[in-house]
Amino acid sequence: MATVKYLLQSSSVNSNIYVRFSINRKTVLKRKTGFVINSTDWNSERSQPKMGREDLKRIKSKLDYLALFIQEAYNTDISKGVELNGDWLQYVIDQFNNKTPVVELDVLTNYIEKYKDEAPFKTNSKGGTGLSAGRISNIKLFKNTILRYEKESLNSQKVIIKNIDIQFAEDFKIWLSKQGYSISYIGKNIANLNTMCNDAFKNGIETNKQIKNIKVVSEKRKPEDIVYLSTEEQQKIKETELTSTAYINARKWLLLGCLIGQRGGDLLSLTPENIKEWQGHKIIELVQQKTGKQVAIPVSNKALEYVESDFPYKISLAKFNEYIKKICEKAEINIPTIGLIKEEGKKAKVKTILPKWKTISSHVCRRSFATNYYTKIPTPLLMNITAHSSEKVFLAYIGKTTYDNASQILDYFNKLD
């Protein structure tokens, strides 16, 4: 026969009263009742509060009613074949205490999974339908980060959406910082936290009122910190003697990338089939993986040699990043540059001064295109190719300083004079 017994697990002034529900010898469930008591007022032999004071009598009465409530729930649910476990007992206790029980989608990681599953139907940043592969990958990483936070900081306790407030966000930021993550990465995680809570609210999940006041941290990069290849550096790379077929092929991709302004994944997905004839000119036509946007990029005279004959063969993004560093090293692209390196024992990279070739990655292609053609081609036309969402974002992306802009304005003034 199933039995109910109450007990304390501490000798403090505010000790939690636990209920132990023994269904059989193998199945014994235990959870907090939601009631607390001074341990000196507890009768361990009788497993109940000591009698005498009215407040203790009220606690005993509530515990008696809870015992009956559990027994009734047990008799009802066992006949229905309900699984009787710790979660079931917690649900029964919450019902007795008139607490809103936690359902599956109240749990943050469960909701993140739901959000990911609905990615093909979500509205994206461009107003279309379906999140990009990159965004979905980011959501998966965010869920893994939350799982680690639960394990390492919350003793594996699940994060409940309605409990996400300003204090939770601050604690989460501190934990991320201690892991060695950059301000930018921390900001992305807080932004994801906001996204999930706001989406949950729209779907009727209880959220905390403070969520709208949780601020996303960000780190603004100075123009001089932005890594790009000048036209002179590109020419130097082009003229560098290479013997490796793999390096020669990677160089073609690198120089072509600097002339068409696409992300690494889009660049390396190109084939000769992407080259079209339009009004007597060659264009590169593609659908960008991140934005889903179709773009048509006129092929400049400089880019023609990479697309008209001996089109570069396929290469993985990882190999591309590896090879172009080596190519730039051979080309002596050595100017001291602010870059990021990973220190031992830390997950995030830290800023330091490096020879420029060490800072080169696939992202240099898009940055080089945007930076080198800025002011030479109207910004809206450049943004149509690079797919930046606003001019503000575009200008923060390129490596032009105030003095660079002043120099170009002087050129215009001189022409006017």
More confident residue, 290 or 356: 356
Q: Kindly report the number of other CB atoms within 10 A of residue 176's CB atom.
A: 23
Average pLDDT across the chain, whole number: 86
Six-digit token string for 46: 């009788």
Provide the pLDDT for residue 60: 93
Which residues make Cβ contacts (< 8 Å) with residue 364, sequence separation at least 6? Answer: 227, 228, 229, 254, 257, 258, 324
Instruction: Give me the CATH code for the 224-416 domain, please.
Output: 1.10.443.10
Average pLDDT over residues 342-346: 61
CA distances for 57 relative to 48, 54, 63, angstroms: 10, 5, 10
More confident residue, 343 or 303: 303
DSSP state at residue 35: E
**Does residue 409 have a pLDDT over 50?**
no
Instruction: Label residue 181 by pLDDT band (50, 70, 90).
Output: confident
More confident residue, 129 or 367: 367
Sign of the CA dihedral running 378, 328, 332, 395: positive
Provide the pLDDT for residue 13: 85
Provide the pLDDT for residue 178: 84
More confident residue, 41 or 126: 41
The rounded distance, in Å, linking the Cα atoms of 207 and 382 is 41
pLDDT tens sequence across 240-251 = 999 999 999 999
Which residues make Cβ contacts (< 8 Å) with residue 249, sequence separation at least 6? Answer: 312, 313, 315
pLDDT tens sequence across 59-76 = 999 999 999 999 999 999
Residue 284's nearest CA partner among 274, 292, 294, 273 is 274
CA distances for 121 relative to 111, 131, 206, 210, 258, angstroms: 15, 8, 23, 28, 34
Percentage of the chain lying above the pLDDT 90 cut: 48
Cβ(386)–Cβ(370) below 8 Å: yes
What stretches of 26-107 show up as alpha helix (H) in DSSP? 54-80, 86-96
Residue 313's nearest CA partner among 363, 271, 265 is 271
The rounded distance, in Å, linking the Cα atoms of 401 and 411 is 16
**Does residue 398 have a pLDDT over 60?**
yes
pLDDT tens sequence across 184-210 = 788 899 999 999 999 999 988 889 999
Average pLDDT over residues 81-100: 87
Would you list the domain boundaries of the chain?
Answer: 3-96, 104-213, 224-416
Provide the pLDDT for residue 218: 65
Provide the pLDDT for residue 349: 63
DSSP state at residue 299: P
More confident residue, 407 or 369: 369
Six-digit token string for 121: 């139907």
**Does residue 393 have a pLDDT over 80?**
no
Which residues make Cβ contacts (< 8 Å) with residue 151, sequence separation at least 6? Answer: none
The structure tokens 């109240």 sit at: 106
Provide the pLDDT for residue 344: 61
Provide the pLDDT for residue 197: 94
Instruction: Label residue 402 by pLDDT band (50, 70, 90).
Output: very low
**Does residue 410 have a pLDDT over 60?**
no
Instruction: Label residue 222 by pLDDT band (50, 70, 90).
Output: low
Number of H helices, E strands in the chain: 15, 10
Which residues make Cβ contacts (< 8 Å) with residue 327, sequence separation at least 6? Answer: 237, 240, 242, 247, 250, 251, 254
Instruction: Label residue 400 by pLDDT band (50, 70, 90).
Output: low
pLDDT tens sequence across 95-112 = 898 876 666 888 999 999
